[in-house]
Amino acid sequence: MRRLVRSGLFIFLGLWMCLSAAAFGQTAASKAVKTAIPIHIDQSFSINYPGICEQVATDQLAQLNLRVNGLLTPLKALDCNPDPAQYGLYYFLPQLDATDLASLREALSGSPWRDARHGFQRDVAYTISFNDGHMEHVFASGQLRYQIVQIPSMLLGFAFIALVSVALVRLGRSSALLRDIPSGATTIPIESRTFSMARVQMAWWFFIVLISYVWLWIVAEGMPNLSVDALGLMGIGSATYLTAAGVDASKQNVLGYSQGFWNDILSDAQGLALYRFQLLVFNTLFGILFLIYVVQNVVMPDFDTNILALLGMSAGTYAGFKIPEKQTVATTPASVQNADSKQG
C-alpha cells in the first residue's frame, strides 16, 4: 500500500513538473513573440512595423493615430526609419502633467500600487491607425510597457518624507513648534507647555500636501502642479493659526502645563469641547481622503467647494470660541509630573 501511494506521488509530481515546464515554455514563447515595448517619461521610443515608411509619406506622419487602451492620444510620430532592419515610427513621451495629457496619464499609470508586484510596470495595449476619410486602417498593434515608478526615486522620496516626519514629531514634542506661546512672561519650560490646536492643524495640512507633492514627483518625475484646493486647505490652516494667535495675544493669557497632547487640543477650561472635536474629526477625515485620492489617481483632488466651506466653518467656529475661552494654570510640581507622565 505504501509503495502504491509513493508511486502515485512520484507520478503526480512528474506530471506536475511536465505541465509546469510546458506552461512555462508557452509563456516564454508568447513573450518572445509579443514583446512589450518599454516606454518612459522624457524618453523616445520606437514602434516597429515593416514597410510603414513606404505606406505613409513623411508629411502624413502627423495623421497617424496612436491609441492606448482604446484612448486616442495626442502623441504623434516624429520620424520614420526606412531601414528594412529597423523599420519604426519614433515617438517621444513628455511629462504627463499637462492638462491635455491627463487622460493619457490615467491610461498609463492607473493605480500605481496595483502594479507594485510587477515592479511598478504596467502593460497597456496600443494600436497605430490612419484615417483616410472613409475608414480607419490599423497598421500595427501590440503592448507598451510603462515604468510607473522608478525605485530609486521612490526610495529617495520616502526617505525625505520619513526625515520630515521624524523632525516634525521630535521638534513638536521638545520645542515650541506645536505648542502655545504665552503673551507674557512664564516660568513653564517649553516642553511642558500646552499643545496648540491651531498649530497642529497647520502642521497637519502642511504634511498632507508635502506627502502628496512628493508622491506626484515620484510618479510623474517632474515638478507637479499644486491644485487650488491644496493651497486653499493650507490657507485655512494658516488663517486659523493667525486668528487664534491674535485672540490669545489680545487676552494676555497665562499658559498652564500640558495635560497630554490629546487633552490639550480637545479641551478648554471647561473640559472636552465639541467645537475642537469637530475640527479634529473633519481635518483628519478629509486629510486621509486627500492622500488616498492622490495615491490612487496620481493627481491632486479637486474638492467640492462645500467641503472647503465646511472646513472653513469649523475653523471659524474654533476661532470664535477662543474669544471667551480661558486656560487654567497649573503651577504645582505635581502637575508637571502629571503632564510628563501623560506625554510619556
Choosing from 148, 169, 198, the residue where a domain stops is 148
The whole-angstrom separation of Cα 310 and Cα 222 is: 33
Residues 6+ apart with CB under 8 A from 37: 45, 46, 47, 126, 142, 143, 144, 145
- Regarding whether 265 and 170 lie in a shared domain, the answer is yes
- Regarding whether 312 and 191 lie in a shared domain, the answer is yes
Domains: count for the chain: 2
- Regarding whether 199 and 322 lie in a shared domain, the answer is yes
pLDDT at position 98, please? 64
- Regarding whether 40 and 87 lie in a shared domain, the answer is yes
Is there a domain that residue 17 lies in?
Answer: no
pTM of the model: 0.68
Choosing from 148, 178, 204, the residue where a domain stops is 148
pLDDT at position 233, please? 84
Sign of CA pseudo-dihedral 304, 305, 310, 314: positive
The whole-angstrom separation of Cα 309 and Cα 229 is: 11
- Regarding whether 168 and 205 lie in a shared domain, the answer is yes
Stretches in the chain below the pLDDT threshold 50: 1-33, 328-344
- Regarding whether 90 and 158 lie in a shared domain, the answer is no
Tens of pLDDT along 29-72?
A: 333 335 888 888 888 888 887 777 777 777 778 888 889 988 88
Q: Which residue carries 498649530 as its cell?
A: 199
Chain mean position to CA 98: 18
- Regarding whether 173 and 42 lie in a shared domain, the answer is no
Is there a domain that residue 300 lies in?
Answer: yes
Is there a domain that residue 26 lies in?
Answer: no
- Regarding whether 267 and 328 lie in a shared domain, the answer is yes
pLDDT at position 184, please? 59
CB atoms near residue 291 (< 10 Å): 17
CATH code where residue 92 lies:
2.60.40
3 state SS of 254: coil
Is there a domain that residue 4 lies in?
Answer: no
Is there a domain that residue 166 lies in?
Answer: yes
pLDDT at position 323, please? 66
Is there a domain that residue 16 lies in?
Answer: no
- Regarding whether 159 and 100 lie in a shared domain, the answer is no
Boundaries of domain holding 214: 152-343
Choosing from 116, 148, 180, the residue where a domain stops is 148
In terms of Cα–Cα distance, which of 126, 256, 279, 259 is closest to 200?
Answer: 279
- Regarding whether 170 and 113 lie in a shared domain, the answer is no
- Regarding whether 330 and 212 lie in a shared domain, the answer is yes
